[in-house]
Amino acid sequence: MNIIAAKALPAELPPQHRPGPSPLPMAEPDRDCPLCPRLVDFREECRARHVDWWNAPVPNFGDPNAWLAIAGLAPGMNGANRTGRPFTGDHAGHLLYATLHKFGLAEGDYLERADDSLRLNGAIIINSVKCLPPQNKPTPQEVKTCRPFLQQGLSSLPNLKLVVALGQIAHQSAVKALGGKLPKYRFAHNAMHRLPSGMILIDSYHCSRYNQNTGRLTAEMFEAVFEQAMTLRD
Ligand code: SF4
């Protein structure tokens, strides 16, 4: 694992596309991580097209003393891949950050840019795949290749009690990162799993625009996941 070095950031990046320092620098890949060839090619295409976008592995965001980790899927093209911060700048972030605010897990203003005043308290967001995949679909091999970064992120949190996984792919990767075996732990919205290590995992449908527009995930359903998390913490 390498620290994302500030000196490696391109000069063209405006403040709204420059995330703050990672809360877990020891669990971040290099800005030019070469491990997934397809994603590297796509990253280079994006860099050529949008010189002022982040276009790199998206660092974790939140509280290094978090008790709750949210395992996302991967950066979205116009969201985290552009701004450099998970769930920032696309539709999914509105519901996620509104919900975290509601449960006291976030403070400050979410303005869809990396240099706003949003901060997380007791929570952290770690994506299962750190680079932008074409069509938002990482391959199973890419999920596997990036898993050590998820694993390292989760194991670097001294107060971690609970993981919320957003979507089936994040669920499967989180189970494996936490030492569980599939298919014993099956994905279902708001299902709670206790892993062999004692860690608790709760599943949620991903808060993507598609899931919200089709009604698969409502704000009430999403809040129920965090309500359960708060109850289990206490
Ligand atoms: S997805 Fe993860 S492992 Fe693959 S290139 Fe990006 S940072 Fe590296």
**CATH number reported for the structural domain that contains residue 34 in this entry:** 3.40.470.10
pLDDT, tens digit (0-9, with 9 covering 90-100), for 213-231: 999 999 999 999 999 999 9
Ligand 1 centre from 57 Cα, in Å? 7
Residue 69 lies in a domain: yes
CB-ligand 1 contact for 202 (6 Å cutoff): no
Query: What pLDDT band is residue 204 in, cutting at 50, 70 and 90?
Result: very high
Give the model's pLDDT for residue 11: 86
> Ligand 1 atom closest to Cα of 29?
7
- pLDDT at residue 8 is higher than 80: no
Give the model's pLDDT for residue 1: 53
Residue 217 lies in a domain: yes
| Mean per-residue pLDDT of the chain | 96
pLDDT, tens digit (0-9, with 9 covering 90-100), for 147-180: 999 999 999 999 999 999 999 999 999 999 999 9
- Percent share of the chain, pLDDT over 70: 97
Q: Are 52 and 84 in contact (CB under 8 A)?
A: no
Preceding omega of 23 cis (within 30 degrees of 0):
no
pTM beyond 0.85: yes
Give the model's pLDDT for residue 12: 86
Residue 3 lies in a domain: no
Query: What pLDDT band is residue 3 in, cutting at 50, 70 and 90?
Result: very low
Give the model's pLDDT for residue 6: 44
Give the model's pLDDT for residue 178: 97
- Ligand 1 pocket test, candidate residues 42, 43, 130, 147, most atoms within 8 A of CB: 130
Residue 215 lies in a domain: yes
Q: What angle do CA 76, 82, 83 make, to 5 degrees?
A: 105
Give the model's pLDDT for residue 5: 45
- pLDDT at residue 189 is higher than 50: yes
Residue 57 lies in a domain: yes
Q: Domain count for the chain, please give it.
A: 1
CB-ligand 1 contact for 146 (6 Å cutoff): yes
What residues make up the domain containing 116?
12-17+25-233
CB-ligand 1 contact for 133 (6 Å cutoff): no
- pLDDT at residue 187 is higher than 50: yes
Residues near 91 by beta carbon (within 8 Å), at least 6 away in sequence: 208, 209, 212
- pLDDT at residue 2 is higher than 60: no
DSSP code per residue over 154-199:
HHT-TT--EEEEESHHHHHHHHHHTT--TTTS---TT-EEE-TTS-
Q: Which of 71, 77, 20 is nearest to 43 (CA)?
A: 77
d(CA 50, CA 126): 24
pLDDT, tens digit (0-9, with 9 covering 90-100), for 38-76: 999 999 999 999 999 999 999 999 999 999 999 999 999
CB-ligand 1 contact for 152 (6 Å cutoff): no
> Ligand 1 atom closest to Cα of 138?
1
